């Protein structure tokens, strides 16, 4: 994957500079690989090829960097997926777009996904945790809405929407445990496979008489 494709476009209303993007991208990789406690400002500066003083010019401390990655990733996942759902498509196609959009985000920003996932329930900052939960709820609520629309349109049989949503989200959210970009299917292809399995089932058609 090209280096540019992995940069984290975290939330920043003024538009993050190339240096900020580099710091956040390298920090996400280090946090995901070594954990928060196992990553120092010296490590981040070395990974970016810059001095610690320049790093401190952009960020007050390691916690500020981590907050930008964790909160930015949760918010941008929701916005990234929402933007890829066609408004005029059938409900089932919109669910497929939700799943593929999630996989595409995971593929593009894998290190940020991993760093954010590993820290989701351990963030000591209550306000930050509350905001992340709000964006997570919006993201999951979008899927439940799409599922209800599919049921109402007769594209799905009546099922428990909460359970169906957890099934879909679990299939996508656990990819980071075993997915290897250099082997097998891409993340988007895996999401398409999951969609087919979920909507068309695993049971084989009975043989023709």
Q: Identify whether 209 is part of a domain.
A: no
SS3 annotation, 153-187: CCCCCCCCHHHHHHHHHHHHHCHHHCCCCCCCCCH
pLDDT in the model for residue 10? 46
Q: Identify whether 185 is part of a domain.
A: yes
Q: Identify whether 46 is part of a domain.
A: yes
Q: Identify whether 72 is part of a domain.
A: yes
pLDDT in the model for residue 14? 40
Q: Is the pLDDT of residue 46 over 50?
A: yes
Q: Identify whether 32 is part of a domain.
A: yes
Q: Quote the number of domains for the chain.
A: 1
CA gap 98, 88 in Å, rounded: 14
Cβ atoms of residues 10 and 27 within 8 Å = no
Q: Identify whether 60 is part of a domain.
A: yes
Q: Identify whether 2 is part of a domain.
A: no
Q: Range of 89's domain?
A: 7-200
Q: Identify whether 65 is part of a domain.
A: yes
Q: What is the mean pLDDT of residues 113-122?
A: 67
pLDDT band at 3, cuts 50/70/90? Answer: very low
Please state the pTM of the whole predicted model. Answer: 0.77
pLDDT in the model for residue 42? 95
Q: What is the mean pLDDT of residues 43-68?
A: 91
pLDDT in the model for residue 64? 86
What is the domain-level CATH number for residue 96? 1.10.357.10
């Amino acid at each position: 994957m090209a280096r540019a494709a992995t940069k984290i476009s975290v939330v920043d209303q003024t538009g993050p500079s190339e240096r900020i993007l580099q710091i956040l991208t390298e920090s996400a990789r280090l946090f995901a690989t070594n954990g928060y406690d196992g990553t120092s400002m010296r490590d981040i500066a070395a990974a970016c090829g810059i001095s610690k003083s320049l790093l401190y010019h952009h960020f007050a401390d390691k916690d500020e960097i981590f907050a930008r990655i964790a909160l930015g990733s949760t918010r941008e996942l929701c916005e990234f997926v929402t933007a890829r759902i066609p408004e005029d498509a059938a409900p089932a196609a919109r669910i497929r777009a939700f799943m593929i959009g999630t996989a595409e985000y995971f593929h593009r920003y894998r290190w940020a996904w991993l760093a954010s996932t590993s820290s989701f329930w351990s963030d000591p900052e209550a306000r930050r945790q509350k905001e992340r939960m709000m964006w997570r709820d919006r993201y999951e609520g979008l899927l439940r809405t799409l599922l209800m629309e599919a049921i109402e349109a007769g594209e799905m049989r009546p099922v428990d929407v909460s359970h169906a949503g957890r099934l879909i989200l679990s299939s996508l959210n656990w990819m980071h445990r075993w997915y290897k970009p250099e082997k097998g299917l891409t993340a988007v292809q895996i999401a398409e496979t999951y969609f087919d399995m979920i909507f068309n089932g695993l049971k084989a058609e009975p043989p023709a008489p």
